Amino acid sequence: MKQVCSIFFHRHAVLLALTLCGSISAVAADTGTGDIDALRQQVLELQSRVAALEARLGDVAVVVAADPVPGGWRKAVNWSLLESGMEASRVVEILGEPDSRKRVSKFEFWTYGDSKMSLYMGRLKKWEIPSGIEGE
């Protein structure tokens, strides 16, 4: 009986697989060249837009700051250097000493101007950029 059930199941599985393959082929044939042509047109339009933007940029150099600039926390570029998980000592290197520090167990809460920053076990977790900083 087990062998008969196995053969029956196997035959139905093969029929199901063939039916699905036929359905997929029919769907693929229905989508045809219309969708492909539309996608080609979109790619051409995007390539044209990229070329126009690159031409507008010309020889403009994009500066990415890797080191903090003088001015500490009052400079927007320095805030962009912060990363979640960064060590507290690196935060101080970038922004300078905070205006205030408060420790609660394994947490520290720092302020720079009207901003708030939280650290957990000496690593930066959250921060707010203060209002009115230079370079915004």
Q: So what's the pLDDT on residue 116?
A: 96
Residues 6 or more apart whose Cβ sits within 8 Å of residue 118: 107, 108, 109, 110, 124, 125, 126, 127
Domains: count for the chain: 1
Dump pLDDT digits (tens) for 14-59.
Answer: 444 545 455 445 445 555 678 888 888 898 888 888 888 877 777 5
Domain presence at residue 119:
yes
Q: pLDDT exceeding 90 applies to what percent of the chain?
A: 46
Domain presence at residue 76:
yes
Q: What does the pLDDT average to over 92-99? A: 96
Q: So what's the pLDDT on residue 73?
A: 94
Domain presence at residue 82:
yes
Domain presence at residue 57:
no
Nearest to 88 by CA among 134, 46, 123: 123
Tokens representing 57? Answer: 């940029």
Render the burial of 91-129: b for 16+ CB within 10 Å, e for the rest.
beebbeebeeeeeeeeebebbbeebebebeeeebeebeb
Q: Name the residue range of residue 93's domain.
A: 72-127
Nearest to 104 by CA among 87, 129, 124, 121: 121
What's the DSSP call for residue 74? G
Q: So what's the pLDDT on residue 126?
A: 97
- Check residues 13 and 90 and name the one with the higher pLDDT: 90
Domain presence at residue 48:
no
Helix (H) or strand (E) holding 42, with range, is helix 2-57
Report the SS3 class of residue 99. coil
Q: What does the pLDDT average to over 4-8? A: 43
What's the DSSP call for residue 119? E
- Categorize the per-residue pLDDT at 11 as very low, low, confident or very high, splitting at 50, 70 and 90: low
Domain presence at residue 9:
no
Question: Taking phi first (over 0 means left), then psi (-120 to 50 degrees means alpha), and beta for anything else, what does residue 110 get?
Answer: beta
Q: So what's the pLDDT on residue 61?
A: 54
- Categorize the per-residue pLDDT at 64 as very low, low, confident or very high, splitting at 50, 70 and 90: low
Domain presence at residue 83:
yes
